[in-house]
Amino acid sequence: MKYFVEFVVSSLVKHAEEVEVAVVEKPDSIAYLVRLNQFDIGRVIGKNGRTISAIRSLCHAATPRGGRPALVEIVEHR
């Protein structure tokens, strides 16, 4: 799933080489923290959050039945 999130986000941004996805496993979920260039955050969030919502929906659909839910969060790259 990490590579899927990285592929989708890299396809949307101008600075694809700066996209990093970190995985944080929690007992009840798996969080994918996406680090981006500050100028690309708006592209990934999209108008009214539609793009990030679509990415989250795709991750939710790819989660196996009964598995831990996948959370996608955006973190500003520093």
Residue 78 confidence (pLDDT): 58
Token pair of 13, please?
């941004």
Q: Which domain range does residue 48 map to?
A: 2-76
pLDDT tens-digit series, residues 26-78 = 999 999 999 998 999 999 999 999 999 999 999 999 888 888 899 999 987 55
> In CATH, what number is assigned to the domain containing residue 52?
3.30.300.20
Residue of 29, 26, 27, 31 whose CA lies nearest to 5: 31
What is the rounded CA–CA span in Å between residue 1 and residue 77? 21
Count of domains forming the chain: 1
Residue 44, Cβ neighbours under 10 Å: how many?
Answer: 19
